[in-house]
Structure 1
Amino acid sequence: MIEPTMVDDLNVLERHLAPHSPNDRSETKSYVRVSSGSDGPVMYRPTPKVRPGWQSTAIPGLMQREIMENVLGSRTTDVIKLYFSAVNPWFPIVNETSFWKLWQSDSSLISSALLCNIYAIALTYWYTSDVLRGTARPDMPFAWNQAVLALRDDCMAPSLTTVHAALLEMLGRPVYHATGNIITAGRTVSLAHSHGLHRDPTSWQTSSAEKSLRIRIWWAVLIHDHCLSHGTPPNITSGQYDVPIPEPGSFVAGNASVREQRAGVAFHQLCRLTAILGDILPVVYSLNADDQKVHKTIRRLEVALDAWEEALPDFLDVSSPPEIRASGHEPSTNSLWFYYLILKLMLKRLAFKAS
């Protein structure tokens, strides 16, 4: 658990409350400093995942995973490949290389809740797969119910992979139950904060791959918090995190295909739009906004949206020639522009309301 706000207190305790015995020392040093940057030190303190006396499932989500893998049978690996082909490039929150290493060496080490959500979201793209389209697709509502149950169990003993699973559930599950999505979003944000995902890890003493993944996961959390609020104020504001926008070069391999490179650029642009939305939402949900300040904010955000549009690469720009846009066409490209138009509409409505 990362608790940056407690660092000053811990430093005082470390200096003035020296341990009196070796046993005391083990308890006093139960935290680890992971960063000592000028922007404030960050410390890590492990805490029990399960509350005392709670009889939790030995492996959360294992039963649902076994059910889904029995349904998929020999197609299980093909479904995972479909996820990494159709979903992960555009919303890169799972490290594919690390995943396949675990899958081949000991798949039981992979989170069952994460796997259930990978299976469920991949079913959406079933008929785009040359291997799978000739077979009957499993029932999607049934698959999503298994994924939801697996995530529920995993939340009783949460870890960082719980955040991955929750992001996939919110990304792919149809909005059958808005209240459930609101609750999932709220606890995912809290869990992300507890793991320090809201802090910039670039100066931390860890691998480049882990730093890049933490940055992408945080922005995925931010996207869900801002975009899937269902009419409730966001749980995150701009002053509560310092994580930079992920750059495509930090997570797209140099030998990646053109499609994968463009997917990385699209995710980067999605994050940029979300940062702009984060400045719009406080105005949307303000109960006593000053109309003069609102107009100034709107003008500033309109300039930001114009700058976003002007900086788009040709394959994402709707004003590009049709042959260029067609060569990079993906459903996520349309979603990105739909997102942009929604923000434009929000600003127009705010301006009309303020006037």
Structure 2
Amino acid sequence: MATAMAVQPLAPRPCSRDIAAWSPPKQRLMDNNESRPALKQLQQSAPQRPRRERPCDGCRRRKSKCVLQEGRRCVLCEFHKQDCTFVENAQPRKRKVDDTNKSDTSPNKRSAASSVKASTPPATKPQQPIFDLSNIPAPAPPVQPAGTKVLSVVDESLSLQRHRHCRYVGQTTALDARLIGLGDFNETNETESQVGLLRQVTGTEYFSTHDDADVPMPDDEARALADIERIVGPHGNKLIEIYFRNVHPSFPIIQKQAFLDRHRHGDRQFNPPLLAAMYLLALGWWQQEPTLASQPRPDIARLEYIAITSLTMAMQRPKISAVQAGLLLLQRPKSSTWTLTVQLVALGQDIGLHLDCSNWSIPLWERRLRKRLAWALYMQDKWSAVGHGRPSHISAADWNVPTPVPDDFDESVPPIDSTTDEEDEETLRGRSLFNQMITLTSIMAEVCDTFYSQTAKADIDRAGKYATQLVLNRAKPVQIRLKEWFAKLPAECKMDSYNTNQLSATGYLHLAYFATEISIHRRIVQSLRPPTTPSESYMMYICRSAAKTRLISAMDFVNRLRPEHLSAFWYFASASNFALIGTFGALLQATSPGSEEAAFYAARLNEFKWTLSVSAGKAPWIQGALELLDATATMLTRLPSKPASVADEEGMDEELMMTGFGVGAVRQEMEVDRW
């Protein structure tokens, strides 16, 4: 006779001892279970328990709402795979700290309570962003009683806590997600282990979190912050204002409201390299600010030294702030190093920026910040690979970050999904530019994979005399994609969408577009070989005509740049992209079949160089592009003389009509359009 046996759940019973490694703030920005869709759905669909019924033992210990299911365990016990019992006695209530403060009327107690209250950011009604910080003196950090913890929104985050850091637990490590799931998780989804405190963000994704003190290193953070503030002197508030006015709209990788709230309340425990990087970028507009132009500029060299050295130490404790600092430092002229870019990619993967965090059990504002920061890192990697001629370190197979949507740019804490009237025009323009740059970068990444990867290079070499045809066949899909992207460009991203005497950052996006186009035609020109038949001569002529059209369009774009464009924010790759236009012109000059064509490109290159030298007066960083053009010009001095010009377009068209080719037909098939 069979005996019925009750199979106990695999997970152990929750431990009754407290896990004191993390103390959550009193005012939580989000419900701990809010970001778990499956759990939230169970809670909404399960029958509600009458108030007179007591919660189960597990929910009582977690201090969570107990929602019973019909004939089954409660929702949370079902989710944690544990027994749902009602045998333990109610735990005695603990007196709140505020009760002591209320009962004690001594001045010292009252001042301590007021100090803690003043240092806590409001959680119900976010304050409006600051747009003029120049007249607000930097308040001294509030004095806290011994043992009192200053609460902040960053203390609830995963990767922005001030004294802790985290590392993503990958799928192939010795820590298996199913085994970690057997742990006893507290109300903050954390469980203790011998490798650190493990935090669960989804049913299968975990992070190990560690105290910063666990990583021994010189404790120079306070000294670095003091040095930074000493260098900028009384101009710190003004530089922060300049940063958020000129850089942040087009490069929104900082949670603006959280930063300004901390700054406003005297919290100066910022990440030193991040603060220094913000100051360094803002110093680019020093001369344009009437209140600063007549005063001595802070010591930029000293500020850069502090930023770089403190970033090197900050990388040992992976946090979002270290990635932010690195990305901002790379936006400075002549500072885009491939080594630092690769380090940031590794750092971003360490904290899980390559993953989709949409359903993680972390604050909503942090999820949105992670998406923006992840794509900024993606663009940094791809455009650095183009500028340095290196293989990208971010693989499409391991990239699972959704493209930001409008709600992901809400920077209020907590999020309110709205923007102020002050922000509407410039902020929305910057967000649109950021999103369009993401799409364009993905196209450029396809161009690099299609034409410049080692496998693509080997394919073209093996094609021999059919190399040009192979390149043209591969170029057509990406050319169509690029053409569709440009056709759908929003009105606020057009070059003529600007107001007089108001900075417009649209220039860097269009320059990146021309760099992408040129990268396609550069490979086509490189694949051309001396023709041996009339049809090959004609194909060469058409390919070079298309390349000439792209070059002239790019140079005309540079001629149309106005002070409103030149003085605005430009992406770090812009100097390299300007130089790429000149390099393409030099390539066409060097490969010209006749002397007249070579002379044409030589004249256009001289005009282009003159235009850039004039523009450098408004944008000094363009000097980097001019230096690269000088190097190219030196190489062209060794170019041998060219023979007389070949047949013109009309004569060649008549000559090859018998072969079935025609200038118009081939141009139409190649989808050559003037910008």
Name the TM-score, length of structure 1 as normaliser: 0.84
Q: Residue 5 of structure 1: SS of its match in structure 2?
A: coil
Number of the residue aligned with 2:442: 275
Q: Are 1:305 and 2:494 matched, yes or no?
A: no
Q: Are 1:244 and 2:402 matched, yes or no?
A: yes
Q: Are 1:231 and 2:397 matched, yes or no?
A: no
Whole-Å Cα distance in 2 between the matches of residues 80 and 148 of structure 1?
19
Residue 127 of structure 1 and its aligned partner are, at CA, apart by 2.4
**Structure 1 range deviating more: 26-35 or 206-215:** 26-35
1:45 to 196, 208, 226: 208
**Structure 1 range deviating more: 89-98 or 226-235:** 226-235
Whole-Å Cα distance in 2 between the matches of residues 47 and 67 of structure 1?
28
Q: Deviations over 1:31-64 (max 9, x none)?
A: 333124xxxx322222565776x4x12243x434
Residue 278 of structure 1 and its aligned partner are, at CA, apart by 1.9
Residue 113 of structure 1 and its aligned partner are, at CA, apart by 1.6
Residue 213 of structure 1 and its aligned partner are, at CA, apart by 0.4
Q: Residue 309 of structure 1: SS of its match in structure 2?
A: helix
Match runs of 1:1-355 below 5 Å: 1-6=167-172, 10-13=176-179, 26-27=192-193, 30-36=197-203, 41-47=204-210, 54=216, 56-60=217-221, 62-172=222-332, 174-175=333-334, 181-229=337-385, 230-252=388-410, 253-255=418-420, 256-289=423-456, 290-291=459-460, 295-318=472-495, 322=496, 324-326=497-499, 330-354=503-527
Q: Residue 196 of structure 1: SS of its match in structure 2?
A: coil
Q: Do the aligned partners of 1:262 and 1:328 also contact (CA within 8 Å) in 2?
A: no
Equivalent position amino acid for 2:509 in 1: L
Residue 6 of structure 1 and its aligned partner are, at CA, apart by 3.7
Change (3 A) 1:141 1:304: farther
Whole-Å Cα distance in 1 between the matches of residues 439 and 294 of structure 2?
39
Q: Do the aligned partners of 1:276 and 1:301 also contact (CA within 8 Å) in 2?
A: yes
Whole-Å Cα distance in 2 between the matches of residues 131 and 248 of structure 1?
35
Change (3 A) 1:32 1:354: farther
Q: Deviations over 1:218-246 (max 9, x none)?
A: 11111111112322111112221111222
Residue 168 of structure 1 and its aligned partner are, at CA, apart by 0.7
Equivalent position amino acid for 1:343 in 2: T
Q: Do the aligned partners of 1:89 and 1:263 also contact (CA within 8 Å) in 2?
A: yes
Equivalent position amino acid for 1:143 in 2: L
Residue 249 of structure 1 and its aligned partner are, at CA, apart by 4.0
Residue 296 of structure 1 and its aligned partner are, at CA, apart by 4.3
Q: Residue 193 of structure 2: SS of its match in structure 1?
A: helix
Name the TM-score, length of structure 2 as normaliser: 0.46
Residue 162 of structure 1 and its aligned partner are, at CA, apart by 0.7
Whole-Å Cα distance in 2 between the matches of residues 171 and 117 of structure 1?
9
Q: Do the aligned partners of 1:225 and 1:235 also contact (CA within 8 Å) in 2?
A: yes
Runs of 5+ in structure 1 lacking a partner?
Answer: 20-24
Whole-Å Cα distance in 1 between the matches of residues 424 and 230 of structure 2?
33
Q: Deviations over 1:84-123 (max 9, x none)?
A: 1111111001111100121233423211121111111110
Whole-Å Cα distance in 2 between the matches of residues 231 and 158 of structure 1?
28
- Alignment size in residue pairs: 334
Residue 294 of structure 1 and its aligned partner are, at CA, apart by 5.1
Residue 146 of structure 1 and its aligned partner are, at CA, apart by 2.6
Q: Residue 46 of structure 1: SS of its match in structure 2?
A: strand
Q: Residue 291 of structure 2: SS of its match in structure 1?
A: coil
Change (3 A) 1:190 1:148: same
Whole-Å Cα distance in 2 between the matches of residues 166 and 14 of structure 1?
32
The structure that has the greater radius of gyration is: 2
Whole-Å Cα distance in 2 between the matches of residues 18 and 145 of structure 1?
45
Equivalent position amino acid for 2:253 in 1: I
Whole-Å Cα distance in 2 between the matches of residues 296 and 5 of structure 1?
39
Residue 135 of structure 1 and its aligned partner are, at CA, apart by 2.2
Number of the residue aligned with 2:668: none
Equivalent position amino acid for 2:371 in 1: I
Equivalent position amino acid for 2:394 in 1: I
Q: Residue 261 of structure 2: SS of its match in structure 1?
A: helix
Residue 332 of structure 1 and its aligned partner are, at CA, apart by 2.4
Residue 81 of structure 1 and its aligned partner are, at CA, apart by 1.2
Whole-Å Cα distance in 2 between the matches of residues 328 and 317 of structure 1?
17
- Report the aligned-residue RMSD: 2.9
Whole-Å Cα distance in 1 between the matches of residues 473 and 174 of structure 2?
38
Q: Deviations over 1:231-285 (max 9, x none)?
A: 2111112221111222344215422231111111111111111111222222344
Q: Do the aligned partners of 2:250 and 2:430 also contact (CA within 8 Å) in 1?
A: yes
Q: Residue 131 of structure 1: SS of its match in structure 2?
A: helix
Equivalent position amino acid for 1:192 in 2: G
Runs of 5+ in structure 2 lacking a partner?
Answer: 1-166, 185-190, 411-417, 461-468, 529-675
Q: Deviations over 1:1-40 (max 9, x none)?
A: 223424896145458x999xxxxx832794333124xxxx
Whole-Å Cα distance in 2 between the matches of residues 198 and 135 of structure 1?
44
Equivalent position amino acid for 2:409 in 1: F
Residue 350 of structure 1 and its aligned partner are, at CA, apart by 2.2
Whole-Å Cα distance in 1 between the matches of residues 473 and 253 of structure 2?
36
- Return structure 1 stretches of 4+ with deviation > 6 angstroms: none
Whole-Å Cα distance in 1 between the matches of residues 382 and 211 of structure 2?
30
| Higher RCO (C-alpha under 8 Å, 6+ residues apart) | 1
Whole-Å Cα distance in 1 between the matches of residues 406 and 205 of structure 2?
26
Q: Do the aligned partners of 1:259 and 1:328 also contact (CA within 8 Å) in 2?
A: no
Whole-Å Cα distance in 1 between the matches of residues 474 and 425 of structure 2?
38
Change (3 A) 1:348 1:96: same
Equivalent position amino acid for 2:219 in 1: A
Change (3 A) 1:47 1:207: closer
Whole-Å Cα distance in 1 between the matches of residues 363 and 480 of structure 2?
37
Residue 207 of structure 1 and its aligned partner are, at CA, apart by 2.8
Number of the residue aligned with 1:22: none
Whole-Å Cα distance in 2 between the matches of residues 155 and 11 of structure 1?
26
Whole-Å Cα distance in 1 between the matches of residues 251 and 450 of structure 2?
28
Q: Do the aligned partners of 1:120 and 1:147 also contact (CA within 8 Å) in 2?
A: no
